[in-house]
Chain A
Amino acid sequence: MSLEGAIAVHRFGLGARPGEIARASGNPKAWLIGQLSGGAPMPAAPQGGWAGAGKLVSEEEDYKAEKVRTKGDKIARKDAKSKGEPLPGGKDAGNLRKQTFNDEMGARLALGITTDRPFAERLVRFWSNHFTVSGAKKKTLLFVGDYEREAIRPHITGTFEDMLFAVCMHPAMQIYLDNWHSTGPNSAAGQKNSKKGLNENLGRELMELYTLGVDAGYTQADVIAMAKLLTGWGLYDGHANGFGFYEDRHEPGPVTLRGKTYQPGWDGAVAAIKDLAHDPATARHIARKFATHFISDDPPAESVKRLEAVFNDTGGNLRALSEAVVKDQAAWGADLKKFRTPVEYVTAAMRLTGWNGQGEHSDKQMKRLMGAVRLMGEVPFEAPSPKGWPDTADAWNGSDGLLGRIQWAKEFGDALPQTFNVGDMANDGLGPLLRANTKTVMAKANSKGEAVALLLASPEFQRR
């Protein structure tokens, strides 16, 4: 086991599964870059498969109609609920939302624990967080899993532009940032109903969070121009992807966006989004975020510059960007500079045990894990805002947060079967990253469970 192998597994991967550091140690960089071939890993589908966005849109519409229809029938519903009978009005779509969300979240967590291409999965998580949609908005719950599978995963080694279009057209984003009903005031629909109008939310975040970055010098007028171009983009359950373009809501007339004139219509919006994808400010914004994720909270300026140049030179090729960060020497320092987020933390702990999702209690274990990350404050697919989950230590290393992890580590250690050899687990799991002090303290543990807890609480396991 080499130090570089351990760094590859922890800094670029998701923590070591048994034997993984040894496997990565031969040629750590090649081990990582090899993971970029063959498409993104895919979470296991439930029986009968995932529903697909178009189907989900119609489910969501059903739910709305259902709610209106049964509003006057509240007493009957309450009565049925208390007797444990099926609710009047057919299926309970609120449960469908929750069930779908939990299935998606469980499958995604499990994939993180079991995958043998953890670097590819890390990229999925990075981009998914960059283009955050969140089930914190209830109407988005049904769609967040589909969004990651259909809009993010297929593009992690493709182009930024393709991912950006997939993201903007997905029902999850249309719903999350309120664009699906945004109506041009001078469009046919806007003229018919003066209460309908423009919603700026997606137009703003598209520039601020997803492409240019907040300090790129665009104005409120630019936000409105982008929002006008996006009018008419919305939901349509007649298409498999759930997306539709409604001409009657689209704001007529050319707009000026950052000094350039765009014609109205579908083509105008597409041209504007393309320009955003290839803007130098976007390259700068993405490069900094990417380096912050993989290198350190305050990444070296030279690393950011290199990544920015690769993004610009390749037209936003994300495979090239990923290879560039692997090849960046600054990313290979022995200091563990990144503090693991809660999901990264529990994922690494589970990988240590070799968990494969096949045991008879796997479902229960996954449920407990979903509860644990919720307690620790990071729920997959449920970030508090479109900015996504924070990616720096100061958001996660506070007193109460740290104590929560330590408490969880103790419970986790105590629950493990006694068949584990803790020493092997520590050596195999951290390799050369395991510190002498941690070994000394672990040796004082009064049980196997406590030794495991100390390993998980150690500074080298809290970081990557």
Chain B
Amino acid sequence: MTTRRTILKTMASAAALSVWDAPFRFSFASVPTERRLVVVVIRGALDGLAAVPPHGDPDYASVRAQLALDKNGSAANVHDLDGFFGLNPSFTNLKAMYDAKEAVLFHNICSPYRDRSHFEGQNCLETGGNSPHALNDGWLNRALAPMGLANGTSAVAIEQTPPLLLSGSARATSWMPAVMPEPDNAFLTKVRALYAGDPELSSSLDGALNMQAQAASMNDDPNAKSGKFKASYGNLTPLFEGAGKLLAHAGGPRVAVLDASGWDTHVAEGAGDGQLARRLQSLDQGLETLKTALGPAWKNTAIVMATEFGRTVRPNGSGGTDHGTGAAAFLLGGAVAGGKVQAEWVGLKPSALKDGRDQPARTDLRALFKGVLADHMGVSQTALNTTVFPESGNVAPMKGLIRA
């Protein structure tokens, strides 16, 4: 849900957090890895040609018409990457990461899903199945055990409730910046007694208390924030900052999931200086905030950002774009061997497009996920092909995404 975050006016002060005594003093699990993995689910189908414009493609300017971003234009200067691909003008911080060889961009990439429903597409993206609803839990949840992180506190969703991606039999928790005063311990002890014999509610409550305890024990409490956050839709900063601080903690979680929604640009897309540009700017700022909050842990971090599918190559009748297929994806972080764009590019001529309208899907997103899980988090090939992504033996993990 995106609503709670939209009204984060002020954060509770550090003083409002109670010092936890028994039975809520959780000892931090000894975490088996220094590696951090963040997955950002970009919900709503991000327009890849606006985010990572192939401005060097001979057909780009004509097929994109009013949505084309001009290398030499005024309001919409793309950041050139390699003379062919560029980054949306909003991606100032991401461009700096690319230049520091800490970011890889992907194009013509998609989950195995080939229709155009958001909800089925997101299901496929999150379950990692070959088709929507083929699997009931999230691939990241299934990866927790092979990563040695299935202890209930090593994986956190920056949400009220973990999304499908992180849902399943392995335990995970969720956390959001506090907006209400914390109830006192004596009261919570009684609530816990209420939930005796109710595994659904008691494990959910324990997960919450655990995260609260972690947040409270940190010198750099993610709930403690001096400034005020602007109460505008799409301010991702408090969420990225909270995630970064939790992950930075020596005994904190090692896997975090964030949701960024608001990309379904059917009307007046504004790729260069409109709604999409502003949304991308918010995402770009979020990434920079995350990097800052991670501090020294940044060098051990990989951040994957993926969307359910791309959008139509040509603008529709409303100055926007409709649901497409092949999309852009992002991998960044201090642990990433970056500074490159990976795409099996086939051009933008109608004959190269899927159904004459969409970017084709030439790369399976799971190849990217597998490459990161294998080389960054040490998940074995066997686990990847059986439990994490069942029936995906034909999808080889990408190599060379993580620094040696």
Contact = CB atoms under 8 A, between A and B. Distances in A.
Interface of A: 136, 178, 181-183, 185, 190, 195-201, 204, 208, 214, 220, 223, 371, 374-379, 382, 384-385, 387, 393-404, 406-408, 410-411, 437-438, 441, 444-446, 450, 453-454, 457-459, 462
Contact of B7 (A190, A374, A397, A457): A374
B205 A402 contact: yes
Contacts of B6: 374
Given A394-B167, A395-B1, A445-B190, 9 more contacts: A178-B318, A182-B317, A195-B65, A198-B316, A200-B323, A220-B116, A399-B175, A402-B208, A457-B194
B181 interface: yes
Contact of B3 (A382, A395, A406, A437): A382
A450 to B, nearest CB: 6
A438 B118 CA distance: 42
Contact of B317 (A196, A379, A398, A437): A196
Nearest to A403: B208
Interface in B81-123: 115-120
B204 A220 contact: no
B207 interface: yes
B175 to A, nearest CB: 6
Given A195-B317, A374-B7, A378-B1, A406 B204 contact: no
Interface string B134-174: 00000000000000000000000101111000010000011
B318 A441 contact: no
14 contacts: A182-B317, A201-B266, A371-B7, A374-B4, A374-B7, A385-B44, A396-B160, A397-B204, A398-B174, A399-B205, A399-B208, A406-B191, A437-B194, A445-B190
Interface stretch (B195-203, B331-339, B378-386): B195-203
B237 interface: no
Nearest to A407: B180
B335 to A, nearest CB: 28
Nearest to B175: A400
Interface string B1-41: 11110110000000000000000000000000000000000
B123 to A, nearest CB: 10
B180 A377 contact: no
A410 B183 contact: yes
Given A183-B317, A214-B120, A459-B201, A398 B180 contact: no
B200 A397 contact: yes
B193 interface: yes
A374 B318 contact: no
Given A199-B322, A398-B159, A399-B175, A407 B116 contact: no
A457 B191 contact: yes
Contact of B190 (A182, A200, A374, A454): A454
A454 B194 contact: yes
B182 interface: yes
B179 interface: yes
A406 B204 CA distance: 12
Q: Which 3 A-B pairs have the closest CB atoms?
A: A398-B161, A197-B317, A401-B160
B211 interface: yes
B159 A441 contact: no
Given A376-B4, A378-B1, A441 B194 contact: yes
Contacts of B205: 399, 402-403, 406
B253 to A, nearest CB: 12
A204 B6 CA distance: 29
Contacts of B197: 437
B183 A199 contact: no
B355 interface: yes
B266 A178 contact: yes
B261 interface: yes
A68 B167 CA distance: 47
Nearest to B2: A384
B200 A458 contact: no
A398 B160 contact: yes
Contacts of A382: 3
B281 interface: no
B196 A446 contact: no
Given A178-B267, A214-B119, A438-B194, A400 B174 contact: yes
Contacts of B160: 376-377, 396, 398, 400-401, 404
A384 B261 contact: yes
Nearest to B205: A402
A385 B259 CA distance: 14
Given A394-B161, A394-B167, A441-B193, A450 B187 contact: yes
Interface string B292-312: 000000000000000000000
Greatest chain A CB density within 10 A among B3, B117, B167, B181 is at B3
Contacts of A398: 157, 159-162, 174, 204, 207
Nearest to B120: A214
B235 to A, nearest CB: 15
A338 to B, nearest CB: 12
A453 B317 contact: no
Nearest to A227: B322
B3 A198 contact: no
Contact of B179 (A200, A375, A402, A459): A375
Contacts of A394: 161, 167
A402 B204 contact: yes
A196 B315 CA distance: 10
B285 interface: no
Contact of A181 (B65, B159, B317): B317
Contacts of B196: 437
Contacts of A208: 117, 119
B223 interface: no
Contacts of B162: 398
B176 interface: yes
Contacts of B233: 136
A285 to B, nearest CB: 13
Contacts of B200: 393, 397
A256 to B, nearest CB: 17
B346 interface: no
A199 B261 contact: no
Contacts of A182: 317-318
A456 to B, nearest CB: 10
B361 to A, nearest CB: 15
Greatest chain B CB density within 10 A among A190, A387, A399 is at A399
B359 interface: no
B180 A199 contact: no
Contact of B186 (A183, A404, A446): A446
B266 A453 contact: no
